[in-house]
Structure 1
Amino acid sequence: MNRYAALLRGIMPTNPNMKNEKLRAVFEGLGFEKVATLLSSGNVVFHSADTDMPELEARVQEALKAELGIPGGTIIRSYEELRKLIDTDPFPGLTHCRETYLTATFLKQAPPKLTHELLKHSEPGVRIVGYDEAARVVLSVIDNRDPRTPNFMAWMEKTYSKEITTRTWLTVQKTVKKLEA
């Protein structure tokens, strides 16, 4: 069995159709095993014999829309991709805290000019740490000490499409631990 994490876009726990138990039910209805949710932000881990991740993404998204009316996007990463990402230690010496968020923005597809576009980004309060090609993820540090919120996510959507989703580095680490349990 293969281990996967589905990172769902646009999940709001206050919406009754987006509750963890309903999300789990959709995944279980698709025949996935060891389905579990993590936090209340659209993180679902599961086991499946399937290996075609784009097909898995399409199946999950179709079921979420049909059964719960959730139109957002679904990005799936394998346990191996996420484990390797964590093992690279992309934020050496940095700590996720209230003042500094360590973030991972997952892209559904890797754009051909990703590195060039990333180098163009110069918004104050955001530092691009790098891009992990295998996991298709942009790694960044967001400085929250300035009361003005950086508009990094809007820039990412404009540059790379809305087929992205961002998680804190702590959430990525918790997701991998959940997959290892």
Structure 2
Amino acid sequence: MHSYAAFLRGIMPSNPNMRNEKLRGVFEGLGFDNVSTLLSSGNVVFQAKDSKVPALESRIQQALNAELGIPGGTLIRTRDQLQALVDSDPFAGLTHCRETYLTVTFVREAPKQLPEFPADDTGTVRVLRFDPDAVAILSVIDNTDPSTTNFMQIVEKTIGKDITTRTFLTVQKALKKLNS
């Protein structure tokens, strides 16, 4: 059995079809084991015999769309990928808090090199690096500025919409669930 975390794009907890129990039901209906959800923002940990991540992502997304009408994307990372990311201490010396968000933006495919992102017009985002093993952009968002950052739109325009962002705390919680 292989352990995975699925990070679903476009989940709105206020939508009854996107609630955790329905998400778990889709994953269990696909025959996955030890299915568990985390928070209410589209984070599902599970075990599967299949080790082909792209096939799993496609199968899950098709089922979510067919059964619940969820059109977003499904990005999967293995327990080992998340463990390596957490072990690398990518945000050393920084603390996630109301003023500073430590974020992980998972992308479908690794770019050959991290593109130059256009300047964030609010000056509130600092891209630290691209993690090739987790296939993720690691960034710090300064929330002390009342302006709303448009960084996610910048990432989408630069890399494409096949991305999803989580806080580093959420990634750590997903790993903890995978390890329990």
TM-score, length of structure 1 as denominator length: 0.96
| Alignment-derived partner of residue 174 in structure 2 | 175
Give distance in 2, aligned partners of 1:121 and 1:169: 23
SS in 1 for 2:14: coil
Please say if 1:79 is aligned against 2:79.
yes
Detail structure 1 runs of 4+ shifted over 3 Å in the superposition.
none
Answering whether residue 119 of structure 2 is matched by residue 122 of structure 1, we say yes
Q: Which amino acid aligns with 1:81?
A: Q
Amino acid at match of 2:131: D
Using the size of structure 2 for normalisation, the TM-score is 0.97
CA offset at residue 121 of structure 1? 4.0
Letter in 1 for 2:69: G
Distance in 2 (alpha carbons) for counterparts of 1:102 and 1:169: 6
* 1:157 Cα deviation from its structure 2 partner: 0.4
Q: Which position in structure 2 is the counterpart of 1:50? A: 50
| Alpha-carbon shift at residue 64 of structure 1 (Å) | 0.1
> What one-letter code is carried by the residue in structure 2 that aligns with 1:174?
K
Equivalent residue pairs, number: 178
Amino acid at match of 2:173: K
Deviation at 1:122, TM superposition (A): 3.1
Shift of 1:110: 1.2
Q: Aligned with 2:146: secondary structure? A: coil
Secondary structure, aligned partner of 1:134: coil
Unpaired runs of 5+ in structure 2? none
Hey, what's the Cα distance between the residues in 2 that align with 1:35 and 1:70? 18
Structure 2 residue 69 is matched with structure 1 residue 69: yes
Over residues 47-93 of structure 1, what are the superposed CA-to-partner deviations in whole Å (9 max), with x where a residue is unaligned? 00100000000000000000000000000000000000000000010
Q: 1:150 aligns to what?
A: 149
- Give distance in 2, aligned partners of 1:177 and 1:86: 11
Q: 1:17: Cα distance to partner?
A: 0.2
Moved more, 120-129 or 130-139: 120-129
Please list the CA deviations of residues 13-59 of structure 1 after superposition, one character each: whole Å capped at 9, or x if unmatched: 10000010000000000000000000000000000010000000000
Query: What's 1:89 paired with?
Result: 89
Runs of 5+ unmatched residues, structure 1 = none
Q: Shift of residue 149 of structure 1?
A: 1.2
Structure 1 distance, partners of 2:136, 2:168, is: 11
> How far did residue 111 of structure 1 move?
2.0
Between the aligned partners of 2:78 and 2:152, the Cα distance in structure 1 is 24
Please report the RMSD computed on the Cα atoms of aligned residues, expressed in angstroms: 0.8
Cα distance in 1 between the residues matched to 2:35 and 2:24: 6
For 1:19 and 1:28, locate their aligned partners in 2 and report how far apart those are by CA, in whole Å. Answer: 14
Same amino acid, percent of matched pairs: 62
Structure 1 match to 2:36: 36
SS in 2 for 1:142: strand
